């Protein structure tokens, strides 16, 4: 069976464009494009046969299908040659029952999807493996791409640099100077990308990279290139697969440039179109109050205007003019959507409180957890609902945030779970006394 995917305008302008061409916007109306699959061909296989196929491939070693993105290749990027794929075994991340944290919130069916347990430590790998693999096939087929470039709040550049290095493709990353974590800055450096740290914010980097990509030979790797979303949408399919093909009631996801939420919705919609599921989850986007343009639009009947994003610990979502806002609003309108926001204190406290139940949350996951707490308190999420919180990055990439919290140095945050080490002399009694004191404080 020949499966096919092409770019089409999200506003419905006529025409289709090959995914092998560097085209990111509709030539008619300049809105974004999306990848459109030949659903008729995909329907020739039954829903149960697709589920069986995806289960058979899941986390096995047959190249490249053990990756949970490429295990769903026919739904993602059917025309790529297996040997052009650059994969580091994406997806297949743990989805765990957050029993103790859920109980604290009066919930018994709360789950956390650890998308950050991935090759470069964030969910960005899910999309980047698809985009860079397409680039490699274009180059192999004689296309002229000099380099792949992105603007980034840190995780996109880490992921692009790794996959580009994996495929021997030159990479250029534009970062806002001083606004990404140390780990995020080091990742593209280690992988040999050209790292350009600009004196601006993410939105400034994004404007420059869009101009660069109009030049001959610089290929755009930001999520306005909808190839990324094809990989990212597999998180929806994977979580349903992990729940024995049942749909959760609510999914909460942190949002910045808003590609991720659009991808999530697309994954659920594709499963419905192909008969795998028969309901859609409610989708909640969580934003930092410091960078909340979607939240403001939600409060205002979806009338959107960009904002200037202020500094936030959730640096990967410090974005005031999200590129995928129209896709995101469309997704939320189809999914009974809610947008919630979290202040710096709320996000840091939520992350730390959940850490006390065994997690190790990045600040963006903190934003999502803070949204969960608020919506539970307001009764907007039912205590019996099955809720999945999407954790987007590994907490290990955000040491500055963690240390700042526990050393009580975060601006605008008064930590109630700070747990700095007690520094003691080399003395048995001092140790014993410290343990006793700790025990009586906890009692």
Which residue ranges make up the site for ligand PLP (CB under 6 A)? 122, 124, 155, 223, 254-260, 316-317, 362, 364, 392-393
Q: Where are the beta strands (DSSP E) in 143-247?
A: 147-151, 171-176, 194-198, 218-220
Question: Which lies closer to ligand PLP via its Cβ, residue 42 or residue 220?
Answer: 220
Question: Which lies closer to ligand PLP via its Cβ, residue 258 or residue 348?
Answer: 258
Question: Which lies closer to ligand PLP via its Cβ, residue 42 or residue 174?
Answer: 174
Question: Which lies closer to ligand PLP via its Cβ, residue 274 or residue 316?
Answer: 316
The tokens of 347 are what? 């996000």
Question: Which lies closer to ligand PLP via its Cβ, residue 148 or residue 317?
Answer: 317
CA atoms of 119 and 419, how far apart (whole Å): 29
3-class DSSP assignment, residue 87: coil
Question: Which lies closer to ligand PLP via its Cβ, residue 8 or residue 397?
Answer: 397
CB of 124 to ligand PLP, least distance (A): 6
Nearest to 24 by CA among 221, 302, 281: 221
CB of 396 to ligand PLP, least distance (A): 12
CB of 391 to ligand PLP, least distance (A): 9
3-class DSSP assignment, residue 418: coil
Nearest to 319 by CA among 260, 401, 267: 260
CB of 193 to ligand PLP, least distance (A): 17
CA atoms of 266 and 276, how far apart (whole Å): 14
Question: Which lies closer to ligand PLP via its Cβ, residue 132 or residue 138?
Answer: 132
Letter string b/e over residues 234-257, b meaning 16 or more CB atoms within 10 A of that residue's CB: bbbbbbbbbeebebbebbbbbbbb
Question: Which lies closer to ligand PLP via its Cβ, residue 226 or residue 260?
Answer: 260
CB of 22 to ligand PLP, least distance (A): 21
CB of 431 to ligand PLP, least distance (A): 38
The owner of tokens 């297949």 is: 92
**Strand order across the beta sheet in which 5-9 lies:** 17-18, 5-9, 33-37
Q: What are phi and psi of 46, to 5 degrees?
A: -75, 160
The secondary structure element, H or E, covering residue 253 is strand 250-254
Q: Is 31 exposed, middle or buried (0-12, 13-18, 19+ CB in 10 A)?
A: middle
CA atoms of 174 and 195, how far apart (whole Å): 6
CB of 65 to ligand PLP, least distance (A): 26
The secondary structure element, H or E, covering residue 185 is helix 182-190
CB of 165 to ligand PLP, least distance (A): 19
Question: Which lies closer to ligand PLP via its Cβ, residue 138 or residue 148?
Answer: 148
Q: What are phi and psi of 139, to 5 degrees?
A: -65, -45
CB of 184 to ligand PLP, least distance (A): 9
251, 253, 323, 392, 438 from 372: Cα distances, Å: 10, 10, 25, 15, 31
The owner of tokens 């296989």 is: 45
CB of 394 to ligand PLP, least distance (A): 9
CA atoms of 367 and 285, how far apart (whole Å): 10
Q: Where are the alpha helices (H) located in 322-362, listed in sequence order? A: 325-334, 344-355
In the chain, the largest separation of any two C-alpha atoms, in whole Å, equals: 79
Letter string b/e over residues 173-204, b meaning 16 or more CB atoms within 10 A of that residue's CB: bbbbeebbbebbbebbeebebebbebebbbbe
CB of 224 to ligand PLP, least distance (A): 10
Question: Which lies closer to ligand PLP via its Cβ, residue 137 or residue 324?
Answer: 324
Question: Which lies closer to ligand PLP via its Cβ, residue 362 or residue 410?
Answer: 362
């Amino acid at each position: 069976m020949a499966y096919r995917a092409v770019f089409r305008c999200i506003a419905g302008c006529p025409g289709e464009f090959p995914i092998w061409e560097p085209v990111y916007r509709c030539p008619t109306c300049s809105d974004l494009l999306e990848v459109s699959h030949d659903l008729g061909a995909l329907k020739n296989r039954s829903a149960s046969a697709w589920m069986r196929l995806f289960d058979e491939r899941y986390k096995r070693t047959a190249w490249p299908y053990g990756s949970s993105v490429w295990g769903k290749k026919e739904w993602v990027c059917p025309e790529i040659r297996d040997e052009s794929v650059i994969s580091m075994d994406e997806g297949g991340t743990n989805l765990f029952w957050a029993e103790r944290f859920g109980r604290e919130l009066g919930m018994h069916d709360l789950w956390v999807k650890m998308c950050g347990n991935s090759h470069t430590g964030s969910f960005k790998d899910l999309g980047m493996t698809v985009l860079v693999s397409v680039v490699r096939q274009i180059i192999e087929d004689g296309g002229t791409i000099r380099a792949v470039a992105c603007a980034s709040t840190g995780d996109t550049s880490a992921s692009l640099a790794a996959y580009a290095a994996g495929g021997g493709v030159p990479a250029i990353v534009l970062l806002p100077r001083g606004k990404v974590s140390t780990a995020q800055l080091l990742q593209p450096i280690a992988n040999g990308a050209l790292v350009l740290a600009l004196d601006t914010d993410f939105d400034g980097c994004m404007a420059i990279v869009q101009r660069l990509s109009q030049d001959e030979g610089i290929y755009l790797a930001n999520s306005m290139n909808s190839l990324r979303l094809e990989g990212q949408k597999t998180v929806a399919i994977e979580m349903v697969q992990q729940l024995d093909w049942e749909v959760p009631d609510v999914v909460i996801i942190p949002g910045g440039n808003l590609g991720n939420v659009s991808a999530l919705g697309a994954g659920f919609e594709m499963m419905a179109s192909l008969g795998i599921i028969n309901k859609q989850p409610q989708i909640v986007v969580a934003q930092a109050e410091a960078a909340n343009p979607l939240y403001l639009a939600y409060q205002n009947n979806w009338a959107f205007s960009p904002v200037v994003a202020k500094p936030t610990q959730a640096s990967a979502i410090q974005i005031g003019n999200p590129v995928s806002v129209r896709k995101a609003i469309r997704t939320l309108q189809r999914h009974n959507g809610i947008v919630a926001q979290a202040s710096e204190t709320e996000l840091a406290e939520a992350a730390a409180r959940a850490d006390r139940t065994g997690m190790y949350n990045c600040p963006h996951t903190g934003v999502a957890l803070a949204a969960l707490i608020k919506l539970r308190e307001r009764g907007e999420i039912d205590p019996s609902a099955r809720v999945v919180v999407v954790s987007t990055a590994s907490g290990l990439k955000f040491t500055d945030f963690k240390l700042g919290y526990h050393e009580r140095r975060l601006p605008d945050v008064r930590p109630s779970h700070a747990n700095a080490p007690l520094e003691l002399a080399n003395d048995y009694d001092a140790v014993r006394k410290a343990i006793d004191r700790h025990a009586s404080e906890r009692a």
